Amino acid sequence: MLTALSPQVPRVPRSQDPFAGHATAAHQAPAPQGSGPAWPPAPPALPAYGGGSHGGGPVWGDPGSQHAPPGEPRRRRSGGLVAAVLVAALVAGGVGGGIGYWAAERNDDGTGSTTVSAAAPQDLKREPGTVAAVAGKALPGVVTIEAKSGGGGIGGEGGEGGEGGTGTGFVYDREGHILTNNHVVESAAEGGTLSATFSDGKTYDAEVVGRAQGYDVAVLKLKDAPGGLAPLPLGNSDKVAVGDSTIAIGAPFGLSNTVTTGIISAKNRPVASGDGSSGKNSYMSALQTDASINPGNSGGPLLDSGGAVIGINSAIQSAGSGMGQTQAGSIGLGFAIPINQAKTVAEQLIRTGTPVYPVIGATVDMSGQGGGAKIASEGAGGSEAVPPDSPAGRAGLKSGDVITGFDGKEIDSGPTLISEIWTHEPGDKVKLTYERDGKEQTAELTLGERKGDS
């Protein structure tokens, strides 16, 4: 059993979320009286394996040709699915700074164990499409990230080096940009230090280009980036199907260049995770995989069987629970940010350094389960829950309306609604289904935008 390295802070209630007070934000955690502060927020169909764009030869995974389904059927999210969302949020608030945040922390149990970094197999020859061939080609584009804060840790603790952790990232382009999770680098973002170590053992200093806390995506840039960088090819997470083979690469518990395999277990899985200290939350409509993912895998690539990145490994569901208690490792429930969404966010960060979030402009009760996402009676500080000039206001929504459908996806809770909204972009036209006085109604609206995380 292993514990997180950095000092821990008690969980902050959702009502203290940093998105509170933004009247144009889309969503918010409820206030103690049942009304919440105001909140803001590419889902996954199939890669061509073998003879497709990623190379020919024997394939790893399903050898048959696959085709994207013409349309994903509507489905009722069960009570069990809602429970999974809320459990993920609970673990996020109580243990190691969150399922995603905890997954980035480096183990230091004082046992004197030695971390061995395996070098990339430079002269390994395997048939195209095998796990070994895919891993051998991808490893040179994956880095282990070391993040250290600039101070002495929380409350002056943590020693001379300050708070730190280990995570993973991968080469995004030849200019030296590295794509990873926000929670991997957050501790070092303000005055700390970052380094990226490649599979050949060479280490380079790095700096933050931009971070998106709500999406849990960050972009770094190598200082003095070397020539010959090998960006990993990006796949299409919209074309992923349940049962597709997956490969995860990362540094679980500091063991760099670790390769694990599995399948896509589910798509469009609503997952909420937080840092456990400030009430800041991240939401994703995630790809679920049973590939073994452990602390240190965060920010690493989830690959399809052709070697293309289909997601960024971000969170795990752990069997452990409770503040400061020992955590279990992988139980086969890992979650990745779909690469289509991560790419959009990365391009925003590279261009401007600031994330942009789509919003509906309504304050949503985050505590409801199973019956949809209810619009609260009032917003932050007694403001209107649905301002007249917001997208939701112009579409005719009112306090007390319960949103049950968003752009063809069924909505069973506030976190699910945020996850679905954040798969879109500002300016997208979407259709909402909602209930008012027991009657189902529909409305169309154009998503607004919110810039930044504060």
- The catalytic residue positions are 183, 216, 298
Cα angle: 3, vertex 4, 10; to 5 degrees = 105
Rounded CA-CA distance 171/173 in Å is 6
- Of the candidates 168, 167, 204, 206, which has an alpha carbon nearest to the alpha carbon of residue 189? 206
- The CA angle 388-341-312, to the nearest 5 degrees, is 135
- Residue 151 neighbours by CB under 8 Å, 6+ apart: 162, 163, 191
**Cβ-proximal residues to 172 (8 Å cutoff; 6+ apart), any chain:** 178, 179, 219, 231, 232, 346
For residue 24, what are the contacts with CB-CB under 8 A and spacing of at least 6?
Answer: 38, 40, 359, 361, 387, 390, 448, 450
Rounded to whole angstroms, the Cα distance separating 308 from 322 reads: 37
242 CB contacts (<8 Å, ≥6 apart)?
A: 263, 264, 265, 266, 267
Tokens 């090819």 locate to 233
